[in-house]
Structure 1
Amino acid sequence: MRMAHGLDELADVTLIEPREAFFHCVAAIRAVVQPALLDRLIIPYDRLLRNGRIIKARAEQISEGCVVLGNGQTVEGDFIIAATGSNYARPFKAQSDSIADFRSHQAAAHAAVEAAQTIIVVGAGPVGVELAAEIKFAHPGKSISILAASDDVVPGIASKLSKALRPQIADMGIDVQLGAFVDGVDRTDAPFAGGLHAGGKTYEADLIVPAFGAKPVLPPVECAAASASGRLEVDQWMRPCGYQAVFALGDAADNGDPMTIVAVRRQVSWLLKTVKKLIDGTSVETLPAYTRATKPLLLVPLGQKKGASILPISRSGCLAGPWLTQKAKGRDLFLTDTRKELGYT
């Protein structure tokens, strides 16, 4: 979406997109307790491109200079960019191309949270932590627990960020059980009621919400190979299969970045500059290769008052507290910027 918008004034852009609208998943977490947000986070594509075109279809095959659609139609291009993203359990990401389905899944999750008194969120990554905090902020009387196999909340980013989040989560009255590997769960794709087994114990709750395991959606690139992480192998210019003018970015591409919206925006910025140079006739091998971010960056709001962030100001990152976290992300969840990119002010 961002790539298409950024190139619209410079090239003849065709966006191949099967979904009826853009679903801003960052705000979908809060929409579980504030369903009125759905009207803002479901954004049509009709204002995205002024000059280019949008084909509502699914790509079935990608090769050098050519994309074959599900109906057999062929779309040719000098440069092809695959950005197929990742899947996640509902209601955090859309499970189909339909707006109605997304609204239905969100409504079901909202109703389940409203009815439940005891809720377990499985997973202590950013999604799990943010969801638990959003529910607790909206419903302080409910019993909310986070259950995870990891040894800390939001692991793998920066230890100082985890240490800053832990006491805030505790102050909200959210129970956190870490180091509990889940070895028995009824389902991983949607919330459910009942029990699960973890760390040799059985846990029961009115509602159990899986919030772990984002899975990359590999683009249908000919001769594509998946890395150990399940993402598409790419070279230093984010090209798969040795292709010259086919690029892959985002959650689906194994370029060393984590699967976060911040990482995707950084990749888009680099690829926009690269493709603009290529349009002018520059050889890709003469351009700077993509390098993953070496400084940590993550913003984790906890409801609408708390949270912490790690900013890429030093090698180990600079810790920011609730005020800056809320100002940068928590208050708006990037909704205004995202809607603006799609032509909606």
Structure 2
Amino acid sequence: MSKKNDDRKNIVVVGGGVGGSRVAHLLSTTLDAAKFNLILIDPRVALILLPATARAVVTNPDNLEDRVLVPLNDVFFKNRGTFIQAEVMSIEKAEDGGCLVLSNEERVQYEILVLSPGSRWNAPFAFPATGVRESFNASRAAIEAAQDIVLVGAGAVGIELAGEIADIYPNKSITIIQAAGMVLNKTYPDRFRRAVESRLIARKINIVYGEYIENTQIEKGALKTKSGKYIKADLVLSTVGPKPNTEFIGKSLGGGTLTDNGFVRVQPTLQLRKHPRVYVVGDAVDYPEQKQYMKAISQANIVAANITASIQNKPLSLYKGSTEIIVITVGKNGGVAYFNFLWGIVLGDWFCRLIKSKSLMIDRMKSLVGL
């Protein structure tokens, strides 16, 4: 899809996660289709609503799997955009934009580029480009077959996955291994972290603190920690934090584009410092806040507004971060929520059931990409 036979300017979004899909949806409602060609590129054909997948990899009630997969063709308002299923291999920069080299050998020119590459997760959340449904099935089968399940990492993902497994399989042994001395991280106050821990303990989920796992291979029915401790296991699931999927960005756009941890350095406008025609949203952004669904939405709102403003030669908006809010489910009937307002508000099971535990906020998430 080059511009050889089309005088319209290409605005290209790379990555069909929530951030990229939100940008594509918003731009499809505002861009003049006679002047601009909006393109969304992703290796998968569907947006995966990741916050709901902790349940979907364990069970599939009411066709949950179908509801967490959103066809990327559907995010465009009145079909005012084009979806290309491919992986971006490299970015070739030019003065008035650039060109993307795709895995299908296609080359796509751009005037404005939005990068939303997301993160690389471990199984069971390492969903492939094709065969996503098979991946769900394989995860559910592995969890059903196991009796002693060990999760490595007590962040929000590990906590929610443990709760979902305990809901469906209350007689299985579930252990979470955490390197730190409490669940979650120091972004959140201890009283909130203890409230989360208490709900895990109430579900008879074991928590092992202060232990590191260097090798997730099971030997003789057990997992060995760095200190030499053995924990009974016939299934190990890594729920440590993901890594930004930004290698192609660093290789293409040069030194200084990425931090040592692989995040993309941006200006407050969410533009690349040396490439003002390139914007970044989502988990890949180097910004001192937790990586969450609603943070990506907030960044996408800024980027879409700034692209429109730049076209109209108006001042750009600045991204100033978002308030830390988190709702952690522990199964479909409970959880704990934290709002960093005032003294820090902590709400319990009743609130989580109302907001997330039952519905997983699927309808709300879909509405943010126009569905």
Decide: shared fold, TM above 0.5: yes
Contact 1:234 1:240 in 2 (8 A): yes
Could you say which residue in structure 2 is the equivalent of 1:108?
A: 138
Q: Displacement, 1:152? A: 0.9
Q: Deviations over 1:6-58 (max 9, x none)?
A: 11021232112221222222211101221342121122123221211112222
Q: Indicate the SS of the match to 1:212.
A: coil
Matches within 5 A, 1:13-162: 13-35=38-60, 36-49=63-76, 50-62=79-91, 63=93, 65-70=97-102, 71-94=104-127, 96-98=128-130, 100=131, 102-159=132-189, 160-162=191-193
Answering whether residue 28 of structure 2 is matched by residue 8 of structure 1, we say yes
More divergent stretch after superposition (198-207 vs 334-343): 334-343
The alignment partner of 2:237 has SS state of strand
Residue in 2 aligned with 1:190? none
Structure 2 counterpart of 1:257: 289
Give the C-alpha shift of residue 341 in structure 1. 4.6
Distance 2:269 2:334 in 1: 38
CA distance in 1, matches of 2:161, 2:108: 40
Deviations 1:184-241 (A, max 9, x none): 3229xxxxx7523243311121211111130100153422532133212222222224
Tell me the SS of whatever aligns to 1:252: coil
CA deviation after TM superposition for structure 1 residue 72, in Å: 4.5
1:212-291 alignment, distance < 5 Å: 212-218=240-246, 219-220=248-249, 221-223=252-254, 225-283=257-315, 287-291=316-320
Q: Deviations over 1:233-287 (max 9, x none)?
A: 222222224112211111112122322212212212222232232222114xxx3
Contact 1:297 1:317 in 2 (8 A): no
Seen in structure 2, the aligned counterparts of structure 1 residues 212 and 248 have a Cα distance that, compared at 3 Å, is same
| Distance (whole Å) between structure 2 residues aligned to residue 75 and residue 337 of structure 1 | 33
* Counterpart Cα distance in 2 of 1:196 and 1:104: 30
Partner of 2:3: none
Native 8 Å contact 2:290 2:324 kept in 1:
no
Distance apart, 1:123 and its partner CA: 0.6
**1:206 and 2:234 are equivalent in the alignment:** yes
* Alignment CA distance shift 1:60-1:67 (3 Å): farther
Q: Match of 2:285, as an amino acid?
A: A
Shift in Å at residue 93 of structure 1? 3.6
Q: Which amino acid aligns with 2:129?
A: D
Larger mean CA deviation between 28-37 and 123-132 belongs to: 28-37
The answer for unaligned runs of 5 or more in structure 1 is 188-192
**TM-score with structure 1 length normalisation?**
0.89
TM-score (norm. length: structure 2): 0.83
CA contact (8 A) 2:265 2:285 kept: yes
Q: Distance in 2 between matches of 1:275 and 1:323?
A: 41
Specify whether residues 82 and 108 from structure 1 end up closer, same or farther in structure 2 by C-alpha distance, changes over 3 A only: same
Q: d(CA) in 2 for partners of 1:319 and 1:28?
A: 24
Matched residues in 2 for 1:297 and 1:288: separation? 23
- The residue type paired with residue 208 of structure 1 is V
In structure 2, the partner of 1:170 is 201
- Unpaired runs of 5+ in structure 2? 1-20
The whole-number CA distance in structure 1 between the counterparts of 2:301 and 2:238 is 32
Q: 1:111 is paired with a residue of what secondary structure?
A: helix
1:46 is paired with a residue whose SS is: helix
Contact 1:148 1:180 in 2 (8 A): yes
Q: How many pairs align?
A: 331
Could you report, residue by residue, the CA deviation over 1:105-158 in whole angstroms, capped at 9, with x for unpaired residues? 221221121122211111100010111111111111111111110221111331
Q: 1:38 corresponds to which letter in structure 2?
A: E
Q: CA deviation at 1:89?
A: 0.9
Amino acid at match of 1:53: T
Could you tell me whether the CA contact under 8 Å between 1:43 and 1:342 is conserved in 2?
A: no
